[in-house]
Amino acid sequence: MKYAVYQMDIIAGNPKKNREKVNNWAKETMANEKPDVLVLPEMWTTAFTLPELDEFADVNGEPTTSFLQELAKKHHVHIIGGSIANKKDGKFYNTSVVVDRKGSIVYTYDKIHLVPMLHEHKYLTGGTEKVRTFELEGVKMGVIICYDLRFPELARKLALEGVQVLHIVAEWPAPRKDHWRHLQLARAIENQMFVVSCNRVGSYDGEDFAGTSMIIDPWGTPLEIGSDSKEETLSTTLSLDIVPKIRKDVPIFSSRVPELY
């Protein structure tokens, strides 16, 4: 399964221009890399323009969900659609959308853990639905959003449900870049799964973002690492058959004794 990750700089408060950017990137990437899966970062339509979300957020996922569905159908590609600011029943959520090659929505997820450091609680509502797995091409996958990475029990739950590829969509700030890098590696190693992350670059409101998107194999070896400041595409093919082999060679799942912890 070939991946292309868009480590994108986001134009703050301009969803139309960001959709145009993604459209152009997808066209170029599909022509050159021919991936099976595209991955976008967190809040890629708006950036963290939290006080102005009434003006910029999608409403019930639109128009961005339809945009992603059309894009997926046009290029015959699966899309891990990062996340969008999403107004539902008068509240704002940070919502991730996954669509398959046919343009069908296969999963949506409202970010559970809101970030105190970015004042998300003041403007957003945390998701209340349990995380679930989804499948693309018969492969079990999961998606979490940025700060969710700090909660190992979330990734472990998904691993115990059979996830082989965990996606992390992010706007992770530069001052905590080391945490970003090491926590991704830890999640891949401790759960023996591929980690595919997509973080933004650039800055907003005085905050620089860390880039360093990664594609990590289940042994914990980084296959691709983005720079910490440049827009770029990370591209690689995941050899999914190594997951069962690594889980057999270092059998942590059968060594667990959860009744004692």
Residue among 166, 213, 228, 179 nearest 41 (CA): 213
* Residues contacting ligand LYUYDEPV: total by CB under 6 A: 12
Which of 1, 124 has the CB closer to ligand LYUYDEPV?
Answer: 124
Question: Which neighbouring-strand residues pair with 9?
Answer: 201
Neighbour-count burial of 136, counting CB atoms closer than 10 A to its CB (0-12 exposed, 13-18 middle, 19+ buried)? buried
Contact set for ligand LYUYDEPV, span 145-184 (CB under 6 A)? 146-147, 150, 171-173, 176, 179
Report the nearest approach of ligand LYUYDEPV to the CB of residue 115 (Å). Answer: 4
Which of 26, 149 has the CB closer to ligand LYUYDEPV?
Answer: 149
Report the nearest approach of ligand LYUYDEPV to the CB of residue 50 (Å). Answer: 11
The SS3 call for residue 77 is: coil
- How far is it, in rounded angstroms, from Cα 85 to Cα 51? 12
Helix (H) / strand (E) element for 136: namely strand 134-136
Which of 146, 193 has the CB closer to ligand LYUYDEPV?
Answer: 146
Is 42 tagged catalytic? yes
> Which distant-in-sequence residues (6+ apart) come within 8 Å of 212 by Cβ?
172, 177, 180, 181, 199, 225, 226, 227, 228
Residue of this chain nearest to ligand LYUYDEPV (CB atom): 146
Which of 170, 238 has the CB closer to ligand LYUYDEPV?
Answer: 170
Binding mask 39-58 for ligand LYUYDEPV (x = CB under 6 A): ---x----------------
- How far is it, in rounded angstroms, from Cα 75 to Cα 141? 21
CA gyration radius, the chain? 17
- How far is it, in rounded angstroms, from Cα 201 to Cα 112? 23
Is 198 tagged catalytic? no
Active-site residue among 21, 111, 171, 198? 111
User: Which region among 26-34, 80-88, 143-151, 194-202 touches ligand LYUYDEPV (by CB under 6 A)?
Assistant: 143-151
Active-site residue among 42, 120, 171, 198? 42
> Which distant-in-sequence residues (6+ apart) come within 8 Å of 50 by Cβ?
118, 119, 120, 122, 123, 124
> How is residue 120 written in tokens?
């998300």
Which of 115, 198 has the CB closer to ligand LYUYDEPV?
Answer: 115
Active-site residue among 21, 146, 171, 198? 146
Report the nearest approach of ligand LYUYDEPV to the CB of residue 145 (Å). Answer: 6
> How is residue 81 written in tokens?
């659609």
The SS3 call for residue 96 is: strand
Contact set for ligand LYUYDEPV, span 92-121 (CB under 6 A)? 115, 117-118
Question: Which residues are annotated as catalytic?
Answer: 42, 111, 146
- Binding residues for ligand LYUYDEPV, rule: CB under 6 A, are 42, 115, 117-118, 146-147, 150, 171-173, 176, 179
